[in-house]
Amino acid sequence: MNTLLKSVTIVNGSTKNLHLKKRDILIKNGVIEAIETSIEPTGKIKVIDIENLHVSIGWFDSGVSFGEPGYEERETIENGLLTAAKSGFTDIILNTSSYPTPDSSSDIVYLKNAAKDQLTSLYPLGNLTVKGDGEALAELYDMKNAGALGFYDYKHPISNANLFKIALQYAQNFEGLVFSFPMDKSISGKGIVNEGVISTKLGLKGIPALAEELQIARDLFILEYTGGKLFIPTISTANSVKLIAEAKKKGLEVYCSVTAHNLSITDDELQEFDTQFKVMPPLRTSLDIKALKKGLENGTIDLVTSDHTPLNIELKHVEFDNADYGSIGLESAFGLVNELFGTEETIALLTKGRSIFGIETPKLEVGEIANLTLFTPDEAYEFSEKHIYSSSKNSIALGRNMKGKVIGTIANNQLVVNQ
């Protein structure tokens, strides 16, 4: 794969002498061969010359779900990884949301083999407990050796505090990363949206912010007792940010993420009972969003995730109470975040975090393997179904104003271009 990128603006904070400079970049056989002011194409080579084209190291998403195995009609691994590539992501962490869920080394090997030879690299998680039922620990050590980068019962909180304590203690023997979904089910009960003015007005059962915060407080107390590494995915409330900030000040090894839609959409959108806005964690308030943004800016929140969750149409086209939680998000993540933070900060957010999982961070330098995302940062547009590459179309972002478009990606000696 030989490609010449003409007059691209490099957005790469790790290489200060190239940051925001316009250069030509020559890639041969998947390796960056030259970065110069001007390079003339020679031989058989694909030239990409697009006005205002920008390039960064490839983007990373720590929380993606597909359907395979079990729900291939929602999203296969192959099409999911192509969707990720077209959305700018060259590395993704795969959630344990399939059926059956991966709780053995053979399951991890299957997922890795299914993702071979794709542009976007897939890194699987394994279940923390057998079948994700919260009763007994799964084969954590064996899954780690097979390639699992962490252990997560997807969207299912670990209610048994002693089991969670043992998991943190055991995982320390092999540098295992334990995930804990922040939701106390005894508090959330049958709630389906954020508890507040909007839920009361609409007559929908609410999930108090306390349900998230109480679980986080419990987990952090246990982490302080046991030591180990904890990842708290998709936090959504102001007090959650505060709790994690205090834990980090104590020196606890805790990491967390926030979804792109929880940064940009409030529960005000629920007033039309549109099931596309039914997500977990639920959409919160503008005050929560303000705190989440601040948490990203000061480093309390480590990662922004798309929380990509493809679902069959019949799981969304029902009454609000009966609809499933979730939205696809790979295609809209850049546009949502870029609208909020601007190009440089957005790229910093979308490229950080690999080191948490032991994944090598790419470099945009001569002699390095090309792992790049191509984008234009300023184009304004309304997100519609034509911008969706996923097999499922359940997007919370439909009809929203976006800023910036992904042009393509280069990784694993492959090129995907959207236009």
CA distances from 87 to 60, 335, 373, 407, 410 (A): 11, 10, 9, 8, 12
Nearest 5°: the CA angle 177, 178, 183 is 145
Q: What is the Cα–Cα distance from 244 to 302, expressed in whole angstroms? A: 11
Annotated active-site residue 274? The verdict is no
163 CB-near residues (< 8 Å, 6+ apart):
129, 134, 135, 136, 137
The H-or-E segment that residue 297 falls in is: helix 286-297
Q: Exactly one of 307, 321, 324, 378 is catalytic; name it.
A: 307
Separation CA 358–CA 143 (nearest Å): 15
Instruction: Give the residues across from 196 on adjacent strands.
Output: none
Q: Which two tokens stand for residue 162?
A: 């002693």
CA distance 228 to 166: 11
Give dist(CA 415, CA 419) in Å, integer: 12
CA 163 → CA 46, 168, 194, 222, 393, distances in Å? 54, 9, 28, 11, 37
Strands (E) across 328-371 are located at none
* Residues in Cβ contact with 238 at an 8 Å cutoff, skipping those fewer than 6 apart: 209, 287, 288, 290, 291, 292
Distance (Å) of CA 198 to CA 187, 189, 226: 19, 18, 40
Largest Cα–Cα distance of the chain, in whole Å? 67
Nearest C-alpha neighbor of 92 from the set 69, 62, 72, 131: 62
Active-site residues: which are they? 307
